[in-house]
Structure 1
Amino acid sequence: MRLRGTWSRVARSLLAPSTSDCLICGKKSRASSELTGVCKSCQASIPWIRHPRCPKCGRHVGCPDCSRGSDPVPIICNRSAVAYTSGMREILGQYKYRGNERLGPLLGLMLDQAYTILQSERGQTPRDGGSKQRHQFIPAFKNKRTRLWQADLLVPVPVSDSRLAERGFNQAERLADVLSRRRGVPQLPLLVRTHHTGKQSFKTRAERLADMKHAFAVNPDPAAGSQFACWLELSGQERGGRPLQIIIVDDIYTTGSTIRACAETIALWAAGFGCTLEIYSLTWARS
């Protein structure tokens, strides 16, 4: 009888939903099947942007910025995983400013949802079958087989040296790392930040746009340039290949001034190689 009771308890424990300490609320709760390390309750409360209202910037509500803007925008579109609510602000604050680096993989996994949306919107295009080769900077369109749209390269938004020293990491680079591993798309640090622009959240839209002018430059490291040049040669651009699909990765999209400045720098540099680009951006949150 005692043995039978023991086996019954074992069976019940195996069949019972697993519980763990949630990365968001810290409580021991039933784990979500969609997000590793997050409880079902917190997962259900995440303000996902599944159907962007603005087709350009990916905003989930009405967007006066895109509707009133007359200047050409250097990206095709932005897509964000979540709306930047107070709850999401707290999560990002724990990660960026309070050293909770356990949240990094979770934020990257959430960003992957934005990639899924972008991918479904772009539809099917000619792609190669060699996803295992993409980490060697071999472009994703070597043959004509049709597959779901795939980016060719991820470019994280750089942080200043002072910010890097303060935090110890670049959050955009870490987000791109997760996305790169999940999607088989290489990332390359093509850009550097030329000067520290200060905290953007306290500035007006006009101040942010002014701040971002000349805030980025091409990475002077010869290794980055040679990798990109080699990658372009393999792409077949000199033979009239299709535009390279590049995604800029960052944590938050507010006015788009950071993304715009990065995209303009990348496009200008790539033009010197005689290649054409289609630039997109993915951000974890849209304010």
Structure 2
Amino acid sequence: MDTLTAWLTKVRSLLAPALLHCLICGKTSRPAAGLHGICAGCEEAIPWIRQPRCQKCGRHVGCPDCSRSGQAVPIVCNRSAVAYTSVMREMLGQYKYRGNEQLAPLLGSMLDRAYIRLKAERERGQQGTAEIQKAESAFTGPFFPGIQSARNRRWQADLLVPVPVSESRFVERGFNQAERLADVLSGRRGIPQLPLLVRTHHTGKQSFKHRAERIADMKHAFAGNPDGAVLLQFEVWLETLGKRTRPLQIIIVDDIYTTGSTIRACAETIRTLCNDYGKVAEIYSLTWARS
């Protein structure tokens, strides 16, 4: 009987889910089903942005910024993985300011969900365009090859560009969090990433500034990366695309979207760089959190 009891205990332990030390709450608990390194309770509490109310900036609540601004926005849209709640703020702080490197894959996998949603949105939009073109489908053939191919094409980002940090910030933290996020997304989706941008000057902590101060700070804050090796990589990458007729699909990657001033400044610089090479780009942004 003792042998049977011991055997049953061993079987139960093998069948029971292994417990883990959660990276968010710090408790030992049942692991999450979809995200590595956190418990099921913390996974359920993540404030995912599944249906953004603002289709331009991806905000999950009413957005006065996009509606009141009459200026043209240099990105197609932004999408963020989560709302920037106090729990998410603490989580990012653990990684960004207190060097908890274990959080990097988790944050990157969360950002990947935002990419999946963006991709699904773009493909739904293409399907909608295809429906409009149904009346023209009878003309598909050797004289109209583009109609059918456009309908069947799946959307895919071509390039990831992380938002750069200043030299002083890099020395302080030892890494660029946006670049780390882009690394994870690049590995998961097979999308190349290039550090096409540099900061021209240190802008200080943006979290302590008002909207107008952020916008003023970001004017001329970025420039194309002057590193010859990076530019050569960019040129080689452009050559691999061949004679593509559609615009380049470029995604800017950052940790937080607040006013969008950083993303807009980066997008304008990337657009200018692409124009210098005779290329048209559709620019998007993906951020881990939306404040």
**Following superposition of structure 1 onto structure 2, how do residues 195-214 of structure 1 map, counting pairs within 5 Å?**
195-214=201-220
1:116 corresponds to: 116
Q: How far apart are 1:76 and its partner, in Å?
A: 0.2
User: How many angstroms apart in 1 are the aligned matches of 2:255 and 2:8?
Assistant: 48
Is 1:10 the equivalent of 2:10?
Answer: yes
The aligned counterpart of 2:27 is 27
One-letter code aligned to 1:258: T
- Deviations 1:97-127 (Å, cap 9, x if unpaired)? 111111111100110110011011000779x
1:30 and 1:147 mapped to 2: Cα distance?
41
Percent identity for Structure 1 against Structure 2: 71
The Cα RMSD (Å) is: 1.5
SS at match of 2:8: helix
In structure 1, distance between residues paired with 2:13 and 2:155: 43
- Summarize deviations over 1:66-100 as a string: whole Å, max 9, x none: 00111110000000000001111100111111111
| CA deviation after TM superposition for structure 1 residue 3, in Å | 2.7
1:260 is aligned to 264
Q: CA deviation at 1:17?
A: 2.1
| Cα offsets for 1:196-253 (capped at 9, x unmatched) | 10000111111000000111111111111111111112212xx452101000000000
**1:223 aligned partner, one-letter code:** A
Query: Compared with structure 1, are the counterparts of its residues 28 and 148 closer, same or farther at alpha carbon in structure 2 (3 Å cutoff)?
Result: farther
Q: Which residue of 1 aligns with 2:144?
A: none
In 1: Cα distance, 2:73 partner to 2:98 partner: 34
1:165 pairs with one of 171, 174, 196: 171
Distance 1:120 1:85 in 2: 25
Deviation string for 1:152-171 (max 9, x for gaps)? 00000000000000000000
Distance in 2 between residues matched to 1:169 and 1:14, nearest whole Å: 40
Residues 1:224 and 2:239 are matched in the alignment:
no
Partner Cα distance (1:10, 1:102) in 2: 31
What is the CA-CA distance between 1:181 and the residue it aligns to?
Answer: 0.5
In structure 1, what is the equivalent of residue 162 of structure 2?
A: 156
Give the drift of 1:147: 5.2
Amino acid at match of 1:3: T
Given that residues 56 and 76 in structure 1 are in contact (C-alpha distance below 8 angstroms), is that contact kept between their aligned partners in structure 2?
A: yes
Q: For residue 274 of structure 1, what is the amino acid of its counterpart?
A: G
Paired position in structure 2 for 1:59: 59
What residue in structure 2 maps to residue 86 of structure 1? 86
- Asked whether the 8 Å contact 1:19–1:31 carries over to 2, the reply is yes
Report the equivalent of 2:284. 280
The aligned counterpart of 2:137 is none
1:41 to 2:45 alignment: no
Return the alpha-carbon distance in structure 2 between the equivalents of residues 260 and 66 of structure 1: 12
1:172, distance to aligned residue in structure 2 (A): 0.2
State the TM-score, normalizing by the size of structure 2: 0.89
Kindly state the Cα deviation for residue 41 of structure 1 after the two structures are TM-superposed: 0.7
Distance in 1 separating the partners of 2:70 and 2:241: 33
- Is the Cα contact below 8 Å between 1:235 and 1:241 reproduced in 2? no
Aligned residue for 2:246, secondary structure, equals coil
Q: Residue 251 of structure 1 aligns with which residue?
A: 255
Contact 1:159 1:170 in 2 (8 A): yes
Task: Name the aligned partner's letter for residue 166 of structure 1.
Answer: E
- Give the corresponding residue for 2:98: 98
- CA distance in 2 between partners of 1:54 and 1:103 (Å): 29
CA distance in 1, matches of 2:37, 2:153: 32
Question: Does the 8 A contact of 1:107 with 1:284 survive in 2?
Answer: yes
2:142 is aligned to none
